[in-house]
Structure 1
Amino acid sequence: MSNSAGSTEVRSPVAGDATQRLIVERVIHAAPEVVILELADAAGGNLPPWQPGAHIDLKLPSGKVRQYSLCGDPENRRRYRVAVLREAAGRGGSEEIHAVAAPGLMLPVLGPRNHFPLVEAPDFLFLAGGIGITPLLPMIRHVGRAGHPWRLVYGGRRREAMAFLDEVAACEGGEVQVVAQDESGHPDIGGLIAALGPDTVVYGCGPGPMLAALEAAADRQGCTWRLHIERFSAAGEAVAPSTEAGDVPFEVELRQSGLVLQVPADRTLGSVLEEAGVPVPFSCQEGYCGSCETRVLDGVPDHRDTILTDDEKAAVTAMFVCVGRARTPRLVLDL
């Protein structure tokens, strides 16, 4: 879920945008299992602009596509910076990056896109869990430079495994609380939310249990409107299954290619598009990363993602085709 009410950010372009090839200029080992990649245009040109909360999609040598938050400085148009946590129990993308990352490596990159925009507010609480610090770093720098008060609560299993501790300590104008689990347990999320000031908005990014606790605490306090969340994994029951009892077949027309495809009741739209060779950048395939956002030209989608707000879903202008289906017999997509 990413509640963007009150934001002045313009939603980034959707699936089908041109891919650029960037070179890995520098590789930094920020923590025992975290590697930072600094990416640049091979010819030395400026990169597309971005705002805090944005991410890029990297196409790995294996063909896997993975999404990573930009954690550098938006004012630096010469390079992008992403941080990758090695996840041994993951789907192989982070392991591949840790194995192949080296200066000179060329990677196709799609984006930037922003489904986690920073809203205007007088006061901010940032809650990071592990590698969830990455999208929050540019936000903290931005609000600090703007003179707004902020507080960061940064939790992790062990202090030595937590990346960017020096950087967050150097950010202007705010307060940083580091909560290492082996030293002091978990952050008191309930207490943090109960003590919110009247004008404070909350940004959270981290593991699923942390975000579930944050949502529950905000719900108890009746302040879910203040909450802005980005997920690095599916949200359990919050993400609808790809297919459900009662699903019906539908037809999808791809306007750009002229293809007309049939989506059976027991198959996902994403799997049908992949089988047909349609070039959609899939990453999570569970409706939380935003890589496969696609314009809807006609028909009414059945949204099953955790990204779009209720207003965005009602606008019927875009959908995430990995988990989305159709409420009408036919959808027309800008593919």
Structure 2
Amino acid sequence: MKNEIRLLIFAAAVFGAWSVAERGEAQQRIPATGLIEVKDQVSLSPEIAGLIVEVVPKTEGFVVKEGDVVFRLNDKVIRKEYEQAVHEASATFEIEFARIALEQAEVELKKKQDANAAQKTGTGVFSDSEIRKATLDVEQQKAMLVKAESEHKSRQLKAEADMIRLNQTEVRSTLGGVVTQINRLAGESVSPGDAIITVTDMSTMRADLRVDYAYYGDLKVGDRVELVVAKPKAIGQSAGIFAAPSERPGVLDGLRGEASRSTTPPAPSPAATTGNADTERFEGTVTHIRPELDGSGREKKVQIYASIPNRQDKDGRYLLLQGVEVLSATILSGSSK
């Protein structure tokens, strides 16, 4: 019995080691290089020509939500046209008049038909031409009713079209994010398609990565990505007492004559590499593998897009910006679900 238990324990250990090895092979670490790009950005434009009366974000850096009004065009003329169209669309007297006229024509026709049917002699009270005329009156009134209903429908459609034009005088953001560019101000005339405001979503960025073509068969959409970028330093971090030794004044700098420089050799700047305190780590997911290669010969590279959630520092600044170089990137092949 003890031997059987030992055998089971040994088999479980072997299977566990094999599973770990399998997982290690499944999650191959593929090196990559690249840059950070903006993933979602929109330029908001008017769909109609007009005069800008208000730009809601007064400066770049203004935060907007999806659906927020970002600028307005003069709507006085369009609003009057809309109100007039609504008034005309609400009028139904033409339809009512046509219905009454049709009812009267049908009554007259029925009277004449009934009178002829009640006549016992062979000759009717009303001649065939009179009956035909009464029948034509009914058909004519039916056509007039259809015409009145059609015209009423056209007025309703015009009111709806004018409402759309009125709504187009308010332009709303189709993306939540930060206003990164304002091209026009209140008082300027614009045409359809003119870029007025640019909104950028900084919460999620895109890493544009390059991977050696040899790894192409191991790449999958959904694979996890780990990357490292340089952490930006404050502007005044290297000034004053924090200046490099070669920039510090010498002991004779305050005396008359030629100033002397410190003889202390300059210290090399710490490299922004993986594991350095001046770097930031991020994780993301492969979202797209482009179907064409970049480069030629042995330098052929596969271009990959990865979605990278951004972070902010204590002052609210985003750490990943457009154009930031990726110091190192690793794609965990086989990590996709």
Q: TM tier, shorter chain?
A: under 0.3
Per residue, is there more helix in 1 or in 2? 2
Q: Based on CA coordinates, which of the two structures has the bigger radius of gyration?
A: 2
Q: Which has the higher contact order (CA 8 A, sep 6+)?
A: 2
TM (norm. structure 2) is 0.16
TM-score, scaled relative to structure 1: 0.16
